[in-house]
C-alpha cells in the first residue's frame, strides 16, 4: 500500500501571504490558514469569502492552468442549477519563491459530502445528475487531455491489475472478486460517441453540501473530455443502492444512456475505488471513500437492481410524469 504523493513544495502561511503581497496586495492582509492538503493541491482559507488553491507538486501545475482557462467557460452552462463551481477569481503566476501557477477562488460554506451518511446523500442525487448532464456536452478538440480519465477502460487495465494482483492487494477487501469483475467490465465495448466534457473526479470529497443540499462541485483538476462513463461512476462512488436509483433515473429523464455505458461507469468506479484504497494510507478520509465505493461496486445486488436500472432507463411512468 502507499501514501498520498509527496509534496514537492513546502506551502506555509508565510509563503502564501508573500505570494499574495507580491501579486494581489489588496488581499494580503486578510486572515489566512491552511484547511486542506489533497493529492495535488493545498487550500488556504483567505478571509471569510475566499480561498487560495496552490499545487503541491509539479504534476498538478498544468491542472491548475486547465481550471483557469476552461472553468470560466464551463461554468456558464451550469449557472442555472444553483450548484457553484470554483471559477478562479484571480490567477496567480510563478514567482522566485514558488514555481507554479495558483488561483484565488470563492470559499464555499458547508462540508464535504464524505462526512454525510449515504442515506443523506440520496436527497441530492437528482441535483448531481443535473450537474453531470449539464456538464457533459461535446468538447472542442483542444480540451485538456488526461491519460487516466475519459479514456477506454482497457487503458487502465495494467494499473488496476497491479493494484489487485500485487502482494499488498491482500489488504484490499475482496481483491479476487474485484479482479474478476474488472475483467468482465474492462471487456465492455468502448465509447464510440463524441468526447464529452468531464469533471474527472466526482467522489464525495469533491462535493460540498450545505444545509443538507448539494451546494458546490469542486476540484476540477482532472477536467478533460472523453467517455461520459467516467463521471457516471459517481453512482457508486457517492451513493448507496437507493441513491444510485435516483441518480440513474434522473439522468434517464434527461437523455438516453445504454447498458454498456453504465457498465463502463461501474468499471470506472472500481478503478477509482482501488486507486483510493491503494494510495491513501495516510489519508483516512480518502480511504473510507474508496472502501465505500468498492463495497457498492461489489455488494450484493449492485448492478442487478432490475432491468430498468441496469439499462439506465429508469421508470417509464416516472419519466412521463416529468420525474424527478
Q: What tens digit of pLDDT does each residue of 238-269 get?
A: 999 999 999 999 999 999 999 999 999 999 99
Architecture of domain 13-106: 2-Layer Sandwich (3.30)
Q: What is the 8-class DSSP label of residue 231?
A: H
Q: Where in the chain is CATH 3.30.200.20?
A: 13-106
Provide the β-strand partners of residue 112: 208
Which residues of the chain fall below pLDDT 50? 301-324
The CATH number given to 111-320 is 3.90.1200.10
C-alpha cell at 209: 453540501
The single residue listed with the C-alpha cell 464555499 is: 108
- Per-residue confidence (pLDDT) for residue 170, from 0 to 100: 62
* pLDDT value of residue 321: 25
Residues 315, 308: contact at Cβ < 8 Å? yes
In the chain, ranges of CATH 3.90.1200.10 domains: 111-320
User: How much is the pLDDT for 168?
Assistant: 63
CA distance 189 to 260: 7
Contact residues for 163 (Cβ-Cβ < 8 A; gap 6+): 169, 172, 274, 275, 277, 278
* Cis-peptide into 293, omega within 30 deg: no
Q: What is the pLDDT of residue 315?
A: 28
**For residues 40 and 58, what is the distance between their CA atoms, to the nearest angstrom?**
9
Amino acid at each position: 500500500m502507499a501514501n498520498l504523493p509527496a509534496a514537492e513544495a513546502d506551502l506555509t502561511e508565510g509563503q502564501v501571504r508573500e505570494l499574495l503581497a507580491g501579486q494581489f496586495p489588496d488581499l494580503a492582509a486578510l486572515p489566512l490558514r491552511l484547511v486542506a492538503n489533497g493529492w495535488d493541491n493545498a487550500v488556504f482559507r483567505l478571509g471569510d469569502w475566499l480561498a487560495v488553491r496552490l499545487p503541491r507538486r509539479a504534476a498538478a501545475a498544468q491542472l491548475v492552468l486547465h481550471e483557469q482557462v476552461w472553468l470560466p467557460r464551463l461554468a456558464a452552462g451550469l449557472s442555472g442549477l444553483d450548484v457553484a463551481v470554483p471559477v478562479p477569481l484571480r490567477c496567480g503566476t510563478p514567482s522566485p519563491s514558488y514555481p507554479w501557477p495558483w488561483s484565488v477562488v470563492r470559499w464555499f460554506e458547508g462540508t464535504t459530502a464524505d462526512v454525510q451518511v449515504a442515506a443523506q446523500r440520496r436527497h441530492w442525487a437528482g441535483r448531481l445528475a443535473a450537474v453531470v448532464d449539464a456538464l457533459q456536452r461535446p468538447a472542442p478538440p483542444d480540451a485538456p487531455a488526461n491519460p487516466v480519465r475519459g479514456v477506454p477502460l482497457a487503458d487502465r487495465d495494467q494499473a488496476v491489475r497491479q493494484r489487485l494482483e500485487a502482494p499488498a492487494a491482500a489488504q484490499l477487501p475482496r481483491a479476487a472478486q474485484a479482479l474478476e469483475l474488472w475483467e468482465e467490465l474492462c471487456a465492455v465495448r468502448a465509447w464510440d460517441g463524441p468526447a464529452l466534457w468531464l469533471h474527472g473526479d466526482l467522489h464525495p470529497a469533491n462535493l460540498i453540501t450545505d444545509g443538507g443540499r448539494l451546494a458546490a462541485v469542486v476540484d476540477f483538476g482532472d477536467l478533460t473530455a472523453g467517455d461520459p462513463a467516467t463521471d457516471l461512476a459517481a453512482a457508486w462512488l457517492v451513493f448507496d443502492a437507493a441513491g444510485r436509483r435516483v441518480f440513474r433515473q434522473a439522468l434517464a429523464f434527461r437523455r438516453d444512456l445504454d447498458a454498456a455505458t453504465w457498465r463502463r461507469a461501474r468499471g470506472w468506479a472500481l478503478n477509482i475505488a482501488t486507486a483510493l484504497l491503494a494510495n491513501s494510507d495516510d489519508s483516512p478520509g480518502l480511504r473510507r471513500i474508496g472502501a465505500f465505493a468498492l463495497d457498492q461496486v461489489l455488494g450484493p445486488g449492485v448492478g442487478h437492481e432490475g432491468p430498468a436500472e441496469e439499462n439506465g432507463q429508469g421508470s417509464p411512468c416516472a419519466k412521463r410524469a416529468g420525474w424527478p
